[in-house]
């Protein structure tokens, strides 16, 4: 039996999923070929979630994700799958509205909302060739000014999530979300993406001949590029249940416990990168051939 579901990720810290094409000491992130937008590979998510499930119950992990490759070259068949997590909303902290102080807002674009609407089967409407948002006015980012019109009711329905925010985000994030998001044409969003990514320079302190640090002396060691915290992603996932080893109710419950909690994805875990709060649109267990254990 096959099914298709949708999940969401809300980043609680910067995320670095390494990609190809690193230039010297610049650590790039994974990007889609056709859009050049950053994304989180499904293989990274799957590995992180499997590790968490395996800590709780190794047998359940083997049945859900397949037995890992052994010394004899044998491995099991997975019954749960995870697609790539795509961008949906990116936070912008350097925006000013109508000449006021800096504000916080989430930004998306036509193609990202269109693709989410298709996969979630939400109603989609054509957005205008200008920016629309929850608050109309003039936004300022770096040296650019963007005139934003008010979202109408149809637009609001088109950008809705499938399901609700998890309890951990309802009182903290949702009130800010309801009042601070705007949609840009794809070309404008491409430009803003240059300002929204987290870039951090790592310095190497130089030492003198005696091994002591030289005051005020350092060289650039490497530069990290990360997705900023408060970024929102969506991902397809689901089951591909095998008749000979069906998933049990308890195994489903264990998986729900992991993928509706905190998950760490990508590299640089030792400095606290990659934490996301995840949730799913459908928690049901409705496989007739399985009985509650």
Quote the pLDDT of residue 81.
94
The answer as to whether 257 is a domain residue is yes
In a domain, 285, yes or no: no
Q: Is residue 217 part of a domain?
A: no
Give the per-residue pLDDT at 292: 44
In sequence order, what are the residues at sequence separation of 6 or more whose Cβ sits closer than 8 angstroms to the Cβ of residue 238?
Answer: 2, 3, 4, 5, 80, 81
Task: Report the pLDDT value the prediction gives residue 230, as an integer from 0 to 100.
Answer: 94
- Return the C-alpha torsion angle 277, 281, 285, 289, nearest 10: -120
User: Which residues, in sequence order, are CB contacts of 250 under 8 Å at separation 6+?
Assistant: 60, 292, 293
Residue 17 is predicted with a pLDDT of 86
- Which tens digits make up the pLDDT trace of 2-15? 689 999 999 999 99
Q: What is the DSSP secondary structure assignment for residue 172, as one 8-state letter?
A: T
- What is the predicted pLDDT for the residue at 198? 76
In this prediction, residue 206 carries a pLDDT of 58
Looking at the DSSP assignment, which residues form a beta bridge with residue 92?
105
Strands (DSSP E) contained in the chain are 5-11, 26-27, 39-40, 80-82, 85-97, 102-109, 131-133, 137-141, 144-150, 181-184, 198-207, 213-226, 232-239, 262-264, 275-280
- CB atoms under 10 Å from CB of 49, counted, come to 22
Domain count, the chain: 1
Q: Is 205 inside a domain boundary?
A: no
Q: Per the domain annotation, does 206 fall within a domain?
A: no
Give the pLDDT of residue 252: 95
Closest CA to 165 of 260, 41, 235, 264: 260
Is 60 contained in some domain?
yes
Q: Name the nearest CA neighbour of 137 among 156, 127, 151.
A: 151
Domain limits for position 248: 5-200+223-280
In this prediction, residue 82 carries a pLDDT of 95
> Does residue 218 belong to any structural domain of this protein?
no
Q: Report phi then psi at 244, rounded to 5.
A: -80, -25
Q: Is 292 within a domain?
A: no
**Mean pLDDT, each 10-residue run in order, the chain (293 residues):** 88 84 67 89 93 94 84 72 95 81 88 93 88 91 84 90 90 91 92 76 61 52 82 95 87 95 86 91 75 43
């Amino acid at each position: 039996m096959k099914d298709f579901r949708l999940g969401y990720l809300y980043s609680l810290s910067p995320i670095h999923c390494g990609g190809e094409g690193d230039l010297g000491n610049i650590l790039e992130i994974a990007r889609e070929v056709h859009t050049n937008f950053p994304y989180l590979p499904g293989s990274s998510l799957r590995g992180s979630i499997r590790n968490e499930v395996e800590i709780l119950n190794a047998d359940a992990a083997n049945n859900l994700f397949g037995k890992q490759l052994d010394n004899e070259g044998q491995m099991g068949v997975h019954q749960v799958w995870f697609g790539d997590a795509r961008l949906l909303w990116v936070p912008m902290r350097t925006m000013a509205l109508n000449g006021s102080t800096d504000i916080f807002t989430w930004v998306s674009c036509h193609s990202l909302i269109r693709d989410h609407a298709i996969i979630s089967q939400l109603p989609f409407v054509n957005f205008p060739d200008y920016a629309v948002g929850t608050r109309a006015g003039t936004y300022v980012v770096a040296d650019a000014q963007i005139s934003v019109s008010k979202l109408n009711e149809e637009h609001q329905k088109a950008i809705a999530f499938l399901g609700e925010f998890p309890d951990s985000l309802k009182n903290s994030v949702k009130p800010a979300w309801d009042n601070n998001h705007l949609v840009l044409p794809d070309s404008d969003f491409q430009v803003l993406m240059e300002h929204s990514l987290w870039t951090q320079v790592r310095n190497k302190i130089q030492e003198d001949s005696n091994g002591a640090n030289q005051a005020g002396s350092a060289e650039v060691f490497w530069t990290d590029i990360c997705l900023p915290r408060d970024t929102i992603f969506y991902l397809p996932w689901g089951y591909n249940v095998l008749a000979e080893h069906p998933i049990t109710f308890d195994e489903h419950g264990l998986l729900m416990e992991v993928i509706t909690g905190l998950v760490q994805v990508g590299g640089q875990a030792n400095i606290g990168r990659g934490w996301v709060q995840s949730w799913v649109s459908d928690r049901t267990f409705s496989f007739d051939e399985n009985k509650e254990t």
